[in-house]
Every structure is written in C-alpha cells, then in structure tokens.
Amino acid sequence: MSSHEREVIGVDDRVSVGRAIPLGIQHMMSMFGSTVLVPVLTGLDPNVAIMCSGIGTICYLLVTGNKIPSYLGSSFAFISPILAVGATQGLDAAMSGVVVAGLVFLAVAGIVRLAGTGWIDRLLPPVLVASVMVVIGVGLSATAVDMAFMQDLPDGTSAFYGLGAIVAAITLVAAVVFSSMGGIFGTIPVLLAIIVGYVVSVPLGLVDFAPVAEAAWIGLPNISAPRFDVGAIALVAPVAIVVVIEHIGHLLAVGEIVGKDYREMLPRSLAGDGISTMISGFLGGPPTTTYAENIGVMSVTRVYSTQIFWYAGGFALVIGGFCPKLAALIQSIPSPVMGGVCLLLFGLIASNGLRMLVSNKVDFDVNRNLMIASVVIIVGVGMETSGISIPIGDYTLPGMATSALAGILLNLILPGGRQESR
C-alpha cells in the first residue's frame, strides 16, 4: 500500500489492543521530553508531572465526551511565574496559583458557553487560523534544532554537536521512511524512529543507564498539597488567559488535521484543560495544556482515534506515578533522538497550516489576507524562535499569543473582511 493510500483511523474508530498499545506508547513518548522539562526547570517532581499529564488527558477525554483527540502535557507558559513564586514563597504557594489558573479556564469556558462560538468565525478567519498553525510549527523549530544539533557545555554555553547531529539525522530519516510505509510501520513511525535512534545512541555512549539502574521498579508518587497564597495566585493564575489563546489555536489545528469542526466544542475543551490543571495543582504538578507534539504525531500517522489517547494517558499515569524505573528509562532517551523526531513533527504542523490555506482557497491577491498572514507569521515565528516575550507587568506575552492578537486586530480593522477567500 502506498503512502497516499495509507489507512486513516478516524476519531471514533477503534483498533485492537495489540495495535492500541504501541500507538499509545508512541503518543506518550512524543510528549515525554517537553512534559519533563517543565518540572526540571521549575523544581517540581518530573514523575508527578508525567502522572498528572496522564490524569489530565483522561479527564479531558471524559469532559469532551471522547470526541477530541488531544494529549495534555506540562505548559511552558507558566515557567516564569512559578519560578518567581517558588523563589520567594515556595512551590507549594505556586501550586495554589496553578489551581486557580484551572478555575480561570473554567470561567472562560463558561463565558464562551454563554456567548456562543459565532465570534470565533468573525475573529479567526481561515487565513488567520492557518497562519497561527504555521507559527505553532515553525515557532517550535528552534527547540527541535537545538535538541538535534546542539550540546550544552559546562560553562553554560552551547555548541554544535556533530555526533548528536548524526543521531538526529538517522532518527529523522527513520521516521520519514517508516511514515512512508504501509501497515503497522506507517502507524507507529515516531515510536519506531525513537527506538532506532536509541539503539544507535547506545554504542556511541550517548545513553546514561545509571539513573535507570538506580530507580526502583515500583514506587509511589511524591505528591504535595498546595498552600493558598493570594500573592502567588495573583502572579500565576492570570497566565491562563495566554494559554487560552494557545488552546484555541491547537483545537482548530486538531480540527483541521482530523477533518472536524470543533468550534462548538470549545467550552468543553477549555473546561477539560481547566479541570486537568486544577488536579495537577492539587497534586504538586505543573499546569497542563494541549500538546503540539501529539498533534504532529496525528498528522504523520493519520491515526486520530481518541481510544489511543486513553492508552497514552493510562501509560503516563502508571509510569509516572508508580514505576520510576520505566520513567527513568524513557528519560534516558538522548536529546538528539527526540530532536530528530521533533524536526518532522513540528514541520508537519506548519505544513498543515499551509494545507489549510489551500483547502480554504485563501486568495493572496486580496491585500488583507496578505497583510494578516505576513504579520502573524513573521511576528510569531520571530518571537518564538528568538525566545522573546513581551513583558506586561508581572507577566509575559509569548510570540504565538502576540501574533494571534495582532492578527485578530488586523482582521477587525482591515476592510474587505468578506473577501478573504474566493
């Protein structure tokens, strides 16, 4: 079977347990690196973060009626405020902000439910949504390239890492080859590519097995309760507004990839993310958000079944919460391996944005479309790849949110709003 004839497994389709297990592991491993990085940077427990991502994903699937295929992992948007609160008032106080951030999600979900979702079409025309999808994918390119080609040095700088680049290239080629094949290989190319990259890395000395050997097979999660602090809440919780913008972008991206219109389900989607974030805060984990990595996996595999995300969430819950050795084994995957995979996954998200422009027949002879796409893509990609955020008091506005807001503003003020496509 050729690649363009590869089987599509729809959102409501079901597969056998034998197929669901590797597909679920593939999604879990795709989110692993980023989900672990957030607690590492903020001082939280990585295993609790993994466990909370699993619990959060399961809650999200329940709240959305098992209709939206998405994985929830640690949110990067909250890193700065959690660090700030953790340094002065303690991480337990920061967790109170995380809990209230979940309430902010629920409040926004309630407002959207009351106001309806008709405003989404007015504020977010296809040219803007597609451009934001390009920003999501290309904006993450710097992260993927850094993982694939760079090595951190003892003096705090980084330099090109030739050996890592070779491993990343082998992993990327493996992912492309497997994704072009039919049968089981075509549905788990990311997992197979990670395995190939890992096997290649072992004899090259890129894998440290010491933490795996030291970790116990069975253990209990190191959960911690929040300590409610008004100052911490005021610093952490409002960041949820920024993540709402990211959430809408991801939801529309998922809808474009799977061929469904999820606009009407935005309130339930936001509520699922909010409940997930609240649970994570009560257990001592970072806030959660829908993950671009898993959107990329769906794009490359054409497997959209929500059943797979139940397996992924279940695996993360068990491994993060009760099996430290398996968690340590997955954490031992070298950065170049994950970088090689992410080069493909993030590129596919951007490519789906371009595909959306084509499928919606967006006319770039219309000046407003040209202006909106140009501003959104350059501002968003430029800020995201440069690591620039706009400081607003105690908060920062990241590139994706800034570009989306700029695009919304342009869409509202530029004339000819009905001529965006032909």
pLDDT score, position 34: 84
Residue 23's H or E segment, with its range, is helix 17-42
CB atoms within 10 A of CB 166: 14
Distance from C-alpha of 179 to C-alpha of 391, rounded to nearest angstrom: 41
Give percent above pLDDT 90 in the chain. Answer: 53
Tally of domains within the chain: 1
pLDDT, average across residues 161-187: 89
Note the pLDDT tens digit of each residue in 300-309. Answer: 888 999 999 9
- CA-closest candidate to residue 306, choices 73, 70, 18, 16: 70
Report the greatest alpha carbon distance in the chain.
Answer: 64
Task: With respect to residue 396, please indicate whether it lies within any of the assigned structural domains.
Answer: no
Task: With respect to residue 358, please indicate whether it lies within any of the assigned structural domains.
Answer: no
405: pLDDT strictly greater than 60: yes
Amino acid at 215: A
Query: Using CB atoms within 10 A of its CB, is residue 363 exposed (0-12), middle (13-18) or buried (19+)?
Result: middle
Task: With respect to residue 402, please indicate whether it lies within any of the assigned structural domains.
Answer: no
Distance from C-alpha of 191 to C-alpha of 136, rounded to nearest angstrom: 22
Query: What is the domain extent for residue 37?
Result: 17-134+178-339
Note the pLDDT tens digit of each residue in 346-372. Answer: 888 888 889 889 988 999 999 999 999
Task: With respect to residue 354, please indicate whether it lies within any of the assigned structural domains.
Answer: no
What are the E-state strand segments in 43-118? 72-74
Task: With respect to residue 361, please indicate whether it lies within any of the assigned structural domains.
Answer: no
394: pLDDT strictly greater than 80: no
Note the pLDDT tens digit of each residue in 51-87. Answer: 999 999 999 999 999 999 999 999 988 888 898 898 8
Task: With respect to residue 419, please indicate whether it lies within any of the assigned structural domains.
Answer: no
CB atoms within 10 A of CB 74: 30
- CA-closest candidate to residue 303, choices 1, 6, 3, 2: 6
Residue whose pair of structure tokens reads 């422009």 in the numeric block:
357
Task: With respect to residue 36, please indicate whether it lies within any of the assigned structural domains.
Answer: yes
Amino acid at 295: I
Cβ–Cβ under 8 Å, residues 260 and 266: no
pLDDT, average across residues 391-403: 81
- Kindly provide the b/e burial profile for residues 262-291, where b requires at least 16 CB atoms within 10 angstroms of the residue's own CB: bbebbbbbbbbbbbbbbbbbbbbbbbbbbb
Cβ–Cβ under 8 Å, residues 75 and 288: yes
Cβ–Cβ under 8 Å, residues 352 and 298: no
Cβ–Cβ under 8 Å, residues 129 and 299: no
How does DSSP assign 264-327, residue by residue? GGHHHHHHHHHHHHHHHHHHT---EEE-HHHHHHHHHH-B--HHHHHHHHHHHHHHHHH-HHHH
pTM of the model as a whole: 0.84
Task: With respect to residue 418, please indicate whether it lies within any of the assigned structural domains.
Answer: no
